């Protein structure tokens, strides 16, 4: 018998912020140098020094926002090192990379060019560890200032007349590594005050004292977290949360490790989001404060073994990413942005490069298939849930061993009037047929679907770059009902055009 999914086309849960599909890029390993930045004189096809293929990937997933320069790198980065003629830029010792060096060839202008080329909004992170509030203020002025001044004059001298108008600014990164709660509170308030004096419209992201990798579903430092939230309440709009997951090795994993990793999305990660929102709501009581999950993804043990944090990127990671987006889209009013760590070569990458060669990972395809959710109205759904008992660290945490095999999310674009329904089937053996019913004032006139299906350990490689890729999937539309079969271990994107829908993507 077919499973059942009902999508309520008139009942919206809120708008899905496009920025939820954002990217995080850092000066780490082969991300910037040899990854995105190849230099203007490189034989590798590039636009103003930026690898063409990286631009193509970010454009094809409609990257809405890019976070830079870190990460740990932000804590020792002086933006002045990365502006001005290339030949004058200082080479610096990289504190967080054990003595590697930073040539500063990729700086503010190069980053802004990447954003222009990809259509993404920039999100800058200011240094609260080794620089001052004055430096942060100056950077805001350099990017956003219009009046004639020494700082804006420097920008003009460096080739940029008009301000870039950067909206998103994070104050510090993972503050718990660098500051005691009371010190961060003091810095945050000072930095924020002066940055806003330069541009009152900035959207500021606070870094809470909230460790990343801890397996606990609740904050292990609840007292520190409370202290920061208490200290900055009334001056807080967005709070950063970093959430990494791991589950056995990234390339060769056991069946238990397969399930454990996927179970973390709905167990540990959901609990962590809810517990942080719980603290914010209890202390501040303002539900307009949203979360910026500005580092998320899988950190496999292989990623720990080298300084460059490179790891295998299999189809399992793509299933994880799709389920993760379903999780984020279930909080459309509270999650303002999310940036995957990290888009090229590092950790949960979308693109891997080696010299002139490159390939797109299975996770890239999820970003591409889900891009229609960006800015859409999240719709209420009800569905039958095939479940399986999973005994893992993640399910023990919630004391619920039953895991949903299928997850779903639906949205309707106000712009195009089209509906996008995405479904994951995590079961590596079973196919599930779904009878999808669209209720409300929506008259379906056509439907099409694409599917990303493979074995959990399948991956793309330099020699086989298209082994895992999305293909068309037959669907059956009759009146407002669509029948779709979800193959084992798959992600499906079902697009439904309603009467009056425009021909927009």
Shortest spacing between CB 270 and ligand AHR, in angstroms: 21
Nearer to ligand AHR, 26 or 368 (CB): 26
Length of the chain: 505
342: left (phi over 0), alpha (psi -120 to 50) or beta: beta
Q: Should residue 121 be labelled a site residue for ligand AHR when binding is judged by CB under 6 A?
A: no
Contact 427, 388 (CB under 8 A): yes
User: Does residue 174 have an active-site annotation?
Assistant: yes
Nearer to ligand AHR, 224 or 381 (CB): 224
Contact 155, 108 (CB under 8 A): no
Per CB under 6 A, the list member of 212, 226, 384, 443 interacting with ligand AHR is: 212
Nearer to ligand AHR, 26 or 427 (CB): 26
Q: Which of 210, 295, 368, 377 is catalytic?
A: 295
Distance CA 450, CA 495 (A): 9
Q: Should residue 107 be labelled a site residue for ligand AHR when binding is judged by CB under 6 A?
A: no
Q: Should residue 71 be labelled a site residue for ligand AHR when binding is judged by CB under 6 A?
A: yes
Cβ-proximal residue to ligand AHR, closest one:
71
Q: Is residue 22 classed as helix, strand or coil in its secondary structure?
A: strand
Per CB under 6 A, the list member of 19, 26, 246, 427 interacting with ligand AHR is: 26
Contacts of 268 (CB under 8 A, 6+ apart): 215, 217, 245, 394, 397
* Residue linked to tokens 């074995």: 455
CB atoms within 10 A of CB 488: 17
Q: Is residue 188 classed as helix, strand or coil in its secondary structure?
A: helix
- Give strand pairing partners of 481: 437, 478
Nearer to ligand AHR, 225 or 347 (CB): 347
Q: Should residue 341 be labelled a site residue for ligand AHR when binding is judged by CB under 6 A?
A: yes
**Part of the chain binding ligand AHR (CB under 6 A), chosen from 270-278, 340-348, 368-376, 412-420:** 340-348
Shortest spacing between CB 309 and ligand AHR, in angstroms: 6
Q: Exposed/middle/buried for 154, CB within 10 Å: 0-12, 13-18, 19+? A: middle
CA 113 vs CA 55, 121, 159, 249, 325: distances in Å: 10, 11, 12, 36, 28
Shortest spacing between CB 74 and ligand AHR, in angstroms: 8
Nearer to ligand AHR, 164 or 299 (CB): 299
Shortest spacing between CB 30 and ligand AHR, in angstroms: 13
Instruction: Pull the structure tokens for residue 295.
Output: 């580092």
Shortest spacing between CB 311 and ligand AHR, in angstroms: 12
Per CB under 6 A, the list member of 22, 35, 49, 70 interacting with ligand AHR is: 70
411: left (phi over 0), alpha (psi -120 to 50) or beta: beta
Q: What DSSP string describes 237-296?
A: SEEEEEEEE--S-SSS--HHHHHHHHHHIIIIIHHHHHHHHHHHHHHT--TT-EEEEEEE
Nearer to ligand AHR, 141 or 174 (CB): 174
Per CB under 6 A, the list member of 174, 199, 257, 310 interacting with ligand AHR is: 174
Per CB under 6 A, the list member of 110, 121, 138, 295 interacting with ligand AHR is: 295
**Active-site residues: which are they?**
174, 295
Which residues lie near ligand AHR (CB under 6 A)? 26, 70-72, 173-174, 212, 295, 341-342, 347
């Amino acid at each position: 018998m077919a499973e059942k999914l009902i999508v309520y086309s008139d009942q919206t849960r809120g708008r899905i912020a496009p920025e939820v599909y954002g990217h995080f890029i850092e000066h780490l390993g082969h991300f910037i140098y040899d990854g995105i930045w190849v230099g203007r004189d490189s034989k590798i096809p590039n636009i103003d020094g930026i690898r063409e293929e990286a631009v193509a990937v970010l454009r094809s997933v409609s990257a809405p926002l890019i976070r830079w320069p870190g990460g740990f790198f932000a804590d020792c980065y002086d933006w002045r090192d990365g502006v001005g003629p290339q030949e004058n830029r200082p080479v610096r010792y990289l504190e967080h990379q054990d003595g590697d060096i930073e040539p500063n060839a990729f700086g503010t202008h190069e980053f802004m060019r990447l954003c222009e080329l990809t259509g993404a909004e920039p999100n800058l992170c200011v240094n609260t560890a080794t620089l001052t509030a004055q430096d942060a203020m100056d950077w805001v002025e350099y990017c956003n200032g219009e009046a004639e001044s020494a700082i804006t004059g420097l920008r003009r001298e460096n080739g940029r007349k008009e301000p870039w108008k950067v909206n998103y600014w994070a104050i510090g990164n993972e503050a718990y590594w660098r500051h005691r709660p009371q010190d961060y509170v003091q810095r945050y308030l000072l930095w924020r005050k002066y940055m806003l004096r330069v541009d009152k419209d900035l959207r500021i992201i606070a870094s809470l004292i909230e460790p990343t990798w801890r397996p606990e579903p609740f904050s292990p430092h609840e007292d520190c977290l409370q202290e920061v939230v208490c200290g900055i309440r009334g001056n807080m709009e967005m709070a950063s949360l970093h959430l990494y997951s791991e589950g056995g090795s990234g390339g060769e994993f056991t069946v238990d490790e397969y399930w454990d990793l996927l179970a973390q999305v709905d167990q540990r990660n959901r609990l962590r989001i809810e517990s942080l929102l719980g603290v914010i709501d209890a202390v501040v009581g303002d539900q307009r404060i949203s979360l910026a999950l500005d580092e998320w993804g899988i950190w496999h043990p292989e990623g720990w073994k080298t300084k460059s944090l490179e790891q295998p990127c299999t189809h399992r990671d793509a299933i994880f990413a799709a389920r993760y987006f379903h999780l984020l889209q279930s909080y459309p009013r509270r999650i303002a942005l999310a940036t995957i760590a990290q888009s090229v070569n590092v950790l949960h990458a979308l693109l891997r490069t080696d010299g002139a060669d490159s390939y797109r990972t299975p996770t890239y395809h999820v970003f591409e298939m889900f891009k229609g959710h960006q800015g859409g109205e999240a719709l209420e759904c009800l569905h039958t849930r095939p479940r399986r008992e999973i005994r893992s660290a993640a399910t023990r945490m919630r004391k619920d061993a039953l895991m949903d095999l299928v997850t779903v999310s639906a949205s309707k674009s106000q712009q195009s009037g089209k509906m996008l329904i995405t479904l994951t089937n995590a079961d590596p053996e079973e196919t599930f047929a779904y009878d999808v019913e669209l209720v409300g004032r929506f008259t379906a006139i056509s439907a099409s679907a694409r599917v990303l299906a493979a074995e959990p350990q399948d991956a793309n490689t330099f020699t086989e770059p298209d082994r895992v890729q999305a293909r068309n999937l037959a669907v059956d539309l009759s009146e407002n009902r669509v029948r779709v079969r979800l193959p084992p271990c798959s992600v499906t994107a079902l697009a439904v055009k309603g009467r009056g829908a425009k021909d927009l993507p």
